[in-house]
Amino acid sequence: MDSCVSLVLVSLSLAHFAAKVLTVSVASAEEVARSLPEFPPSLGDEPVDSPPYGRGHLKPFGYQRAPEGPVQEYIEELHPSDFYRTHIKPKQPLVYRGMVSDSPAFRLWTDEYLRETYGSLDVISEVKNESRATPPKRMQMREFLDRYQKDNLYIVTVLPDDMRKEVKAPRSVLCGSTRRFIQEANLWMSNGGTRSVIHYDADHNIHCLLAGRKDFVMIPKKYQAQLYMASQTINGSGYSLIDPDSVDLMQYPLAAGVPWTWATLAPGDCIFLPGGYLHQVRSYTRSISETLLFTPTRWFNDSNCNTTDVDSYMSLADVELKWTYLKGQKHIEMGYMNPELIRESLFRQLTHNAAISRELFMEIITDDLRSEANEFATDAMSAKLWLEIKSPDRDYLTYEDVENAPLEALKNIARAIDPPHDTD
């Protein structure tokens, strides 16, 4: 609360004060809205074949072709079974209006509150220009808050455990195999003016906005060829070579014909971004988001949905995440593979074998899984991990061994397979 409002509070009755604050808030919101870019953009009367290279040449993506329409919206969250059937399985995005507006974070997370309550927590920050020469930096939240308005920094970090209790967990992932494959939650914060490249992520993602405004351009995966994707992928994710702020139709002519849909998130809204679905994100003013990542699966096991209460309020502190950050940890581990995929790989072997021998285990870890990662999964590491999982009284793995394998042991395998993504 600033000093002007404090003076008003002293001089006015509570009723008058409430009306005054409401008036000021609405006026400020309208003023901010008028200053923000129009989205989706109006194409005006510019013809499709406008010289020299067509409509929207050297303009932001979206000025070349009108959108197909908005992303499908809901005002009530889908049951996890319906969410899987209608959106996860067919990989169709959706928007939930007001989904996290009852999260404590929605009303509490001002800069002052974050500094006072979570200032000593470590976060990972990056510079907005995404310079490859400037690596991410670990710093305390209070340092980031002191600097981000003037130094063009933004946070993209694992949501610290201490903060999870103030963010609502999405109802649509609270039972079945979707819940089992929840991977990590990330925190994003900036002073606005950020633009992502056109890209896709390997994991499914529910992106929830707690402050600010974000615009999303959404493009189905089948149009990758028209978006001139980089040949190299990063951890299953890929990106377009096109500059989304200035589309060069001379160099990338096929981009002009790419169909797209759109969504604008206001505080409290969430969008489901299916793994593999192309998108581009734009923010304009101070914004805070939380994203929940979960691994794509080809099936949905709803065996526990009848016994799980998905309708009562639940925070992210009540949901098991595979990768977390607790104050004092040496590393902030972010972007690793989901360790549950290792369990699933072992389960698949058990459908063909009564048990998994040491030799087969070594082959799975050092060959099958390493083919998706890199050469860091050495025989020595695999041998150590074998001892962490197997029962001490036998030299093979059973279904029960795999089912009961500790999460931390599976994470050690993931760490061995995947290169470090953490920041000291």
Asked if the model's pLDDT at residue 97 lies above 50, the reply is: yes
Position 89 in a domain: yes
Asked if the model's pLDDT at residue 366 lies above 80, the reply is: no
Mean pLDDT of 392-399: 92
Asked if the model's pLDDT at residue 23 lies above 50, the reply is: no
From 373, 370, 391, 397, select the one nearest 382 (Cα to Cα): 370
Position 392 in a domain: yes
Asked if the model's pLDDT at residue 270 lies above 90, the reply is: yes
**In the structure, what pLDDT confidence band is assigned to residue 365 with cuts at 50, 70 and 90?**
confident
Mean pLDDT of 334-359: 91
Going by C-beta distance under 8 Å and a sequence separation of 6 or more, which residues neighbour residue 364? 345, 346, 349, 356
Position 331 in a domain: no
pLDDT at 26: 38
Position 108 in a domain: yes
pLDDT at 134: 66
Same domain flag for 80 and 172 = yes
From 276, 238, 207, 278, select the one nearest 61 (Cα to Cα): 278
Position 22 in a domain: yes
**In the structure, what pLDDT confidence band is assigned to residue 105 with cuts at 50, 70 and 90?**
very high
From 62, 96, 36, 406, select the one nearest 272 (Cα to Cα): 96
Position 190 in a domain: yes
Q: Label the pairing between strands 73-74 and 94-96.
A: parallel
**In the structure, what pLDDT confidence band is assigned to residue 17 with cuts at 50, 70 and 90?**
very low
- Lowest-confidence pick of 126-130, 282-286, 351-355: 126-130
Question: In angstroms, rounded to a whole number, what is the distance separating the alpha carbons of residues 228 and 219?
Answer: 13
The DSSP code sequence of 331-355 is -B--SPPPTHHHHHHHHHHHTT-SS
Strand, coil or helix: 216:
strand
pLDDT at 119: 98
Any idea what the CATH number is for the domain that residue 411 is in?
1.10.238
Same domain flag for 81 and 24 = no
pLDDT at 20: 29
- For the chain, the domain total comes to 3
In eight-state DSSP terms, residue 170 is P
Same domain flag for 191 and 251 = yes
Position with higher pLDDT, 28 vs 96: 96
Position 172 in a domain: yes
Same domain flag for 234 and 185 = yes
Domain that holds residue 148: 69-318
Position 327 in a domain: no
Same domain flag for 292 and 370 = no
Please report, in angstroms and rounded to a whole number, the separation of the first and last CA atoms in the chain. 35
**In the structure, what pLDDT confidence band is assigned to residue 22 with cuts at 50, 70 and 90?**
very low
Same domain flag for 293 and 347 = no
Asked if 198 and 290 touch (Cβ cutoff 8 Å), the reply is: no
pLDDT at 18: 31
The token pair at 76 is 């009530």
pTM: 0.88
Position with higher pLDDT, 418 vs 219: 219
Asked if the model's pLDDT at residue 171 lies above 60, the reply is: yes
Position with higher pLDDT, 397 vs 367: 397
Q: How far is CA 192 from CA 235, 243, 409, in A?
A: 27, 19, 40
The DSSP code sequence of 292-330 is EEE---S----TTGGGS--SS--BGGGS--SB-B-TT-S
From 156, 118, 15, 151, select the one nearest 327 (Cα to Cα): 118
pLDDT at 412: 85
Same domain flag for 148 and 292 = yes
**Strand arrangement, sheet containing 69-70:** 69-70, 261-265, 214-219, 278-283, 199-200, 238-239
pLDDT at 75: 97
Same domain flag for 89 and 160 = yes
Asked if the model's pLDDT at residue 351 lies above 50, the reply is: yes
**In the structure, what pLDDT confidence band is assigned to residue 11 with cuts at 50, 70 and 90?**
very low
**In the structure, what pLDDT confidence band is assigned to residue 424 with cuts at 50, 70 and 90?**
low
Phi, psi angles (nearest 5°) of residue 96: -105, 120
Rg (CA), the chain: 24
Q: For the chain, percent helix, then strand, then coil, each to nearest 5?
A: 35, 20, 45
